[in-house]
Amino acid sequence: MADREGDIYDIFAEQKKIEDRGQVAADWLIRAQHDRKTDEEEKLRALVEQATALGEIEFVLPKGRDGSPRRVVVQTLRAVEVPLTPPKSGRPHVTITAVFANEENPPKGEEPVSWLLLTNLEVKTLAQAKEKLEWYLARWQIEIFFKILKSGCRVEELQLEHIDRLEPALALYQIIAWRVLYLTMLGRECPQLPCDLIFSDDECKSVYIVSTRQQPPETPPTD
C-alpha cells in the first residue's frame, strides 16, 4: 500500500509479469497521482467518474496536520476496471481496478475529501470497495507503527547474526511497537479514560509515584 508517490507504472507491470510466470505476486493498493491514458477514449479519472455508484462509506477523518478539525465524512464509491496504456513502448498493457471515493456533499466551508485508488484486486461490490477504503484509511497508523518499530525500538540496530535469533526478537519488538501505538491512539481518541482500563493497579500507582513524586489517589487518574 502506498500514497501518491507509489503511482509508478513499473509497479503495475512487474506484478503482472510475476503472475504471468505462474508465481505468487504481492497485491497492491496505491493512491493515484497521474490521470493516465487508457485504451479507451477517456482518461483514467473520466472513466471511473462515469461508473455507477456502488454505495456510500462513512468514517471519521482525524484532525489534519494543518490543524483542520476531525469530522465525519460520507463518500460515494465507484469502481471500474481500466486498461492502461503503457507510458513507454515495450512495456506491457496492464488492466487495473480504479476505486473513486468522492465526498459529494461536504460541510459548508470544507474542501471535499476525494481519493482515487488503484489496485490489482477485483472490486465489484460495495463491500469490496469499502474494504479498499478501510485499508487506505489505516495507512497512517501503519506508518506510525513502523516508525515506532524502527526509531523507538531501534530494530535496525540489532546485532543478531542468525535468523533463528532475529525472528523472535522482531516478534517481541512488534508486540511492543503495537502496544505503544495502541496506547498513543487511545490517548488521542479517548483521553479521559482511567488508566486502570489498560494497566494493572500496581502499574498505575508506580507510574504515578515516579512521574509526580506523590502518593497515588484512590481513584485511578485519567492523565
Summarised one tens digit per residue, pLDDT across range 43-60 is 999 999 999 999 999 999
Rounded Cα gap, residues 30 and 165, in angstroms: 34
Q: Where in the chain is the domain with CATH 3.90.350.10?
A: 4-137
Buried b (16+ CB within 10 A) or exposed e, 17-35: eeeeeeeeeeebbbbbeee
Is the pLDDT at 164 greater than 70? The verdict is yes
pLDDT at 177 (0 to 100):
95
Average pLDDT, the chain: 90
CA 133 – CA 31 distance, rounded (Å): 10
In the block, cell 501518491 appears at 4
Give the pTM.
0.76
**Cell numbers standing for residue 165:** 535469533
Give the pLDDT mean for 32-41.
94
Task: Give 75-115 pLDDT, tens digit per residue.
Answer: 999 999 999 999 887 788 899 999 999 999 999 988 899 99
| Mean pLDDT for the stretch of residues 5-28 | 92
pLDDT at 129: 98
* Beta carbons within 8 Å of 22's beta carbon, 6+ residues apart: none
Query: Tell me: domain 4-137, CATH 3.90.350.10, correct?
Result: yes
Q: Dihedrals φ, ψ of 138, to 5°?
A: -85, 0
For residues 173 and 179, give the distance between their C-alpha atoms in angstroms, rounded to a whole number.
10
Q: What's the pLDDT score for residue 102? A: 97
Supply angle C-alpha 165, 170, 173, rounded to 5: 130
Q: What's the pLDDT band for 8 if we cut at 50, 70, 90?
A: very high
> Which amino acid belongs to residue 51?
A
Q: What is the model's pLDDT at position 160?
A: 85
Per-residue pLDDT of 135-152, as tens digits, reads 999 988 888 999 999 999
Q: Exposed (0-12), middle (13-18) or buried (19+): which is 220, by Cβ within 10 Å?
A: middle
**54 contacts: CB under 8 Å, gap ≥ 6:** 77, 78, 79, 125, 126, 129
- Cα–Cα distance measured from residue 3 to residue 60, given in angstroms and rounded to the nearest whole number: 19
The pLDDT value recorded for residue 223 is 65
170-220, pLDDT tens digit by residue? Answer: 999 999 999 999 988 888 778 888 888 888 888 888 888 998 888 888 777
